[in-house]
Amino acid sequence: MHPFNKYFSIWFFSLFITFSQAYAQETEVTTPPAPTIAASAYFLEDFHTGKVLAESNADTRLAPASLTKIMTTYVVFRELSNGHLHLNDTVTISEKAWKTSGSRMFLELGNQVTIQDLLQGVIIQSGNDASVALAEHVAGDEATFADMMNQHALRLGMNNSNFKNSDGLPTPDHYTSARDLAILTTALIKEFPEYYRWFSQKEFTYNKITQQNRNKLLSRDESVDGVKTGFTDDAGYCLVASALREDMRLISVVMGTKSAIARANENQTLLNYGFRFYESHRLYEGNKPLNEAKIWKGASKSIPLGLNEDLYVTIPRRLYSDLKAVINIDSKIIAPIAEHTKLGSVKVTLKEDLIIEKDLVALQAIEKGNIFRRLIDSVLLMLEKSDNGK
């Protein structure tokens, strides 16, 4: 080999290795650890998947201050949805509600106030008087309303929560956790989107008094559309925030920061981290056919299969092309089949790691076929079994 060709080959090979390594470094995706947050507890999760992106002391039981009012409004929303209340129903303001201390809607004793105005007073103005008025109207007294709050907390899986009042004023044995608040906020947004819009409202006027929403992120970040602030001396400054960018919604919780500015800044830090380094995708729509399967002895020869709900995944950014989905269908599906019967699974992997698995279900009921269909299929199944046994 000519010396020039030899040296050129070595040079070209070295250059190729250098570019390959540079390209690999450029395309390699690394997700940095979550930032350090100056709070007693914090929690960040994807709304659709529940994937936790950052947490610290997430299950520690802490005083929630006015974050309590997220549960107060959730209970009232439930009562509205089941028809026990209506937004234009009026509430007579009791002496207890009128005298309640702390942040106020400035209700007047004996006045008649609509449920809708009281809800906005709770959500936007953080009115303790409005919280007590709603609790008394819904349950007769605040203690019974607190029992309702705890029943919903138990049902939702809020394992580190116990409520003693509707407004969050300090009282013994009244606590919740950052994770539980995320669970509650997720339920509220999913179940009551028509009412959730009030949490993005920046001000509310009642009794000729206009008060601003204390959630500073509503003015700072247009993707933020809620949720609730809280403060007492024992709880510190707290904030539950939710933001929607494109199709990805994140919920962040900070508890026990040192100032109103700090709680906004720390939440903003969490949200920016989540949106910067993660992405969320809806892979499949719920209650839509993904596949069909043969069904034996049925009134129909096939059955549509799908998912009970939308299937979302949360993954590090730029790894979407590495996702793989595999559909597994049960063998020998025999009628009758009830709607939503599990008949297989959908498994999604990322770089060979299983990240989510969902049941594949019947999207409609299939009754037994007539006697001729059942007889024919019985014979075919016997023949198939006999062939497989050879």
Q: Which fold has domain 285-388?
A: Peptidoglycan synthesis regulatory factor (PBP3), Domain 2 (2.60.410)
pLDDT digits over 106-119, tens only? 999 999 999 999 99
Give pLDDT, residue 387: 64
CATH number of 41-278: 3.40.710.10
Length, in residues, of the chain? 390
Which backbone phi and psi does 370 adopt, to 5 degrees? -70, 175
Q: Does residue 18 have a pLDDT over 70?
A: no
The closest of 275, 276, 259, 179 to 216, measured between CA atoms, is: 259
pLDDT digits over 48-72, tens only? 999 999 999 999 999 999 999 999 9
What is the spatial distance between Cα 241 and Cα 217, in angstroms, rounded to a whole number? 8
Identical fold between 41-278 and 285-388: no
- Tell me the whole-structure pTM to 2 decimals: 0.88
Q: Would you state the structure tokens that stand for residue 33, as one six-digit string? A: 């650890």
pLDDT digits over 295-306, tens only? 999 999 999 999
pLDDT band at 335 (very low <50, low <70, confident <90, very high): very high
What is the spatial distance between Cα 175 and Cα 160, in angstroms, rounded to a whole number? 8
Q: How far is CA 279 from the centre of its chain?
A: 15
pLDDT digits over 271-298, tens only? 999 999 999 999 999 999 999 999 999 9
Pairing label, strands 112-114, 323-329 = unpaired
Q: Any catalytic annotation for residue 66?
A: yes
Give pLDDT, residue 17: 35
Catalytic residue among 40, 94, 103, 126: 126
Give the count of alpha carbons within 13 A of 51, CB side only.
19
Q: Are 212 and 70 contacting, i.e. CB atoms less than 8 angstroms apart?
A: no
What is the spatial distance between Cα 367 and Cα 349, in angstroms, rounded to a whole number? 35
CA dihedral over 78, 81, 82, 87, signed as positive or negative = positive
Give pLDDT, residue 131: 98
Catalytic residue among 69, 216, 228, 297: 69
Q: Are 296 and 335 contacting, i.e. CB atoms less than 8 angstroms apart?
A: yes
Average pLDDT over residues 373-387: 81
Catalytic residue among 40, 66, 242, 252: 66
What is the spatial distance between Cα 343 and Cα 327, in angstroms, rounded to a whole number? 11
Which backbone phi and psi does 63 adopt, to 5 degrees? -65, 130
Q: What ranges do the domains of the chain cover? A: 41-278, 285-388
Q: Any catalytic annotation for residue 297?
A: no
Q: Could you tell me what percent of the chain has a pLDDT over 70? A: 91
Q: Would you state the structure tokens that stand for residue 6, as one six-digit string? A: 């030899």
Average pLDDT over residues 245-269: 97
CA Rg value for the chain: 28
Q: Any catalytic annotation for residue 101?
A: no
Give pLDDT, residue 380: 85
